[in-house]
Amino acid sequence: MDVENLLVRSEKVTPGGVHSNTRRIEPQIMPKKAYGSMLTDISGKEYLDYHAAFGPIVLGHSYSKVVDAVKDQLGEHGLYGVGVTELEVKTCEKIVEHVPSAEKVLITNSGSESTFHAIRVSRAFTGRKKIIKFQGCYHGWHDYVARNMLSEEKMIGKRDPGSAGMLDEVIDSTLVCRFNDLDDVENMIKANRNEVAAIILEPIPHNIGNVMPTMEFLKGLRTITEQNGIVLIFDEVITGFRHHLGGYQAICGITPDLTTLGKAIANGFPIAAVCGKSEIMDSFSTRPGGTALFAGTYNGHVVGTASILATIDIMEKENVHEHINTLGEKLRMGIQEIADRVGLEVTVKGFGSIFVPYFMSGEINNYEDLMREDTEMDLKFRRGMIEKNIFMFPIPMKRNHTNFTLTKKDVDITLQATEDVMKDIKK
């Protein structure tokens, strides 16, 4: 079967032929199967996969211990819609054990649901309407957060809804600040005194590659939110379990009030969570008297709980983070060295298992700084890598991920391809 035929067939029954916003890309890859670090497309071409499905694949595709754990449970368990299962309890106990901010946990099916609920409960808890997010950060598709994501330069910090059909009141209840700029946040809070319910951030904004927060910024956010009765939400949907079983908060030492988790927590199976201080979490309607509605037919499904527990078990027992971080560092250093030698203006950023070659030089502290990136060159590089069977997602600034099955040999192959593609670009 070829790519065009499948897409044409799919377009007849699905708008645009794909089931999520950015899956229709150039070159179009149609996956057939994936195992370990390798993804095979329907034409039989194999790729070393650094896209990792936008991040969930942290142990490797179809990782047998996780798949087997799910299979084992499926023979016995169905969907109950009543009470609680032991797998759900164990899952929440493990999250409480590892994630510093987690005193109580609720299970959802996606990161978007988790950020939605974190914001709704913050509003219920504080009795306030507005929230603050940061330019460039992505927290899912719902109206509360879908503004000022990958904005055009002229729309940075301005009113930039990410979708038609959003309600004006909702768009305007979400205020937008500059990342790593505490003064901007302070001024925004002053201008909206006693109106801000929550500040939500990706502690490392990986949706724009890899922008590191300064410790001063994170500490400042913690202080300012405490002083003003604002709920601090760390959206760790990408960073959670990928950088540490406790999320980035366990690394940076700043504990938010609420945390959202998803993606890597279950190595590709659909489960996510919202967790945090009991005082706030107890406002959810799962507790008698709780006022913030929380519901979901599939919440706590056995596929999700079995896979998250298996992923945690593997991360507790094996040197997952050491391995993926070491290879991440090798790739960051290797790509930077090649770019410098070839004479391309590239700054490789990253953290742990994530690496991002930006085609630019100079400081990178926020989305505004990334406007200096040569996105055409970035795209050319990514497409060149895809031609050489290395799958780096063909959208500028998208992050690349290592996984537990990736080998040093895979890294060498990647660096050789990088050198070939960069030399071609330089010509």
Ligand X SMILES: Cc1ncc(COP(=O)(O)O)c(C=O)c1O
Task: Rule CB under 6 A: say whether 202 interacts with ligand X.
Answer: yes
**Shortest distance (Å) from residue 145 CB to ligand X:** 8
- Is 140 a binder of ligand X (CB under 6 A)? yes
Residue 115 or residue 405: which is nearer to ligand X going by CB?
Answer: 115
Comparing CB distances to ligand X, the nearer of 207 and 299 is 207
Indicate the residue among 247 and 262 with the shorter CB distance to ligand X.
Answer: 262
Q: Which DSSP symbol is given to 84?
A: -
Which residue of 50, 138, 358, 391 would you call a contact of ligand X, by CB under 6 A? 138
Q: How far apart are the C-alpha atoms of 100 and 60, rounded to whole Å?
A: 26
* Residue 316 Cα distances to 268, 309, 311, angstroms: 18, 10, 9
| Identified binder of ligand X from the candidate list 37, 91, 115, 210, rule CB under 6 A | 115
**Minimum distance, C-beta of residue 242 to ligand X, in the bound complex (Å):** 11
Task: Name the phi and psi angles at 136, rounded to 5.
Answer: 100, -20
User: Which two three-digit tokens encode residue 364?
Assistant: 């990178």
Report the residue from 132, 218, 237, 390 that binds ligand X according to the rule CB under 6 A.
Answer: 237
> CB 22 → ligand X: shortest distance, Å?
10
243 scored as a contact of ligand X (CB under 6 A): no
Distance CA 335, CA 327 (A): 12
By rule CB under 6 A, what string of x and - marks binding of each residue 339-368 to ligand X? ------------------------------
Give the one residue of 34, 99, 149, 238 binding ligand X; rule: CB under 6 A. Answer: 238
CB of 137 to ligand X, least distance (A): 7
CA dist 297 and 303 (Å) reads 14
Half-sphere exposure of 281 (CA within 13 A, CB side): 21
Tell me the window of 95-103, 133-141, 193-201, 356-364 that interacts with ligand X (CB under 6 A).
Answer: 133-141
Number of residue whose CB is nearest ligand X: 111
Q: Interface residues for ligand X in 207-226 (CB under 6 A)?
A: 207
Out of 49, 160, 184, 235, the residue judged to bind ligand X by CB under 6 A: 235
- Of 110 and 336, which CB lies nearer to ligand X in the complex structure? 110
The window from 106-114, 284-292, 392-400, 406-414 that contacts ligand X (CB under 6 A) reads 106-114
Instruction: Single out the residue of 30, 88, 101, 111 in contact with ligand X (rule: CB under 6 A).
Output: 111
| The two three-digit tokens of residue 322, written as one number | 């050491």
Q: At 326, is the secondary structure helix, strand, or coil?
A: helix
Helices of type H across 242-374? 248-252, 278-281, 302-317, 320-342
Stretch that binds ligand X, among 132-140, 148-156, 317-325, 376-384 (CB under 6 A): 132-140
* Least distance to ligand X, CB of residue 144, Å: 11
Q: Which DSSP category does 240 fall into? A: B
Q: Is 126 in the site for ligand X (CB under 6 A)?
A: no
Strands 347-351, 258-261: pairing kind: unpaired
Cβ 237 to ligand X shortest distance, Å: 3
Q: Are 119 and 294 in contact (CB under 8 A)?
A: no
Backbone angles phi, psi at 181, to 5 degrees: -125, 90
Give which of 321, 322, 330 is closest to 350, Cα–Cα: 330
Task: Name which of residues 155 to 194 contact ligand X (CB under 6 A).
Answer: none
Task: Measure the CA–CA gap between 32 and 14, rounded to whole angstroms.
Answer: 19
d(CA 276, CA 415): 41
Give the three-class secondary structure for 328: helix
Q: For Cα atoms 11, 13, 18, give the angle at the middle one, nearest 5 degrees.
A: 50
Binding to ligand X, residues 252-291 (CB under 6 A): 262, 272
Binding flag, residue 54, ligand X (CB under 6 A): yes
Taking a C-beta distance cutoff of 8 angstroms, is the pair 119, 196 a contact?
A: no
Interface with ligand X by CB under 6 A: which residues? 54, 110-112, 115, 138-140, 202, 207, 235, 237-238, 262, 272
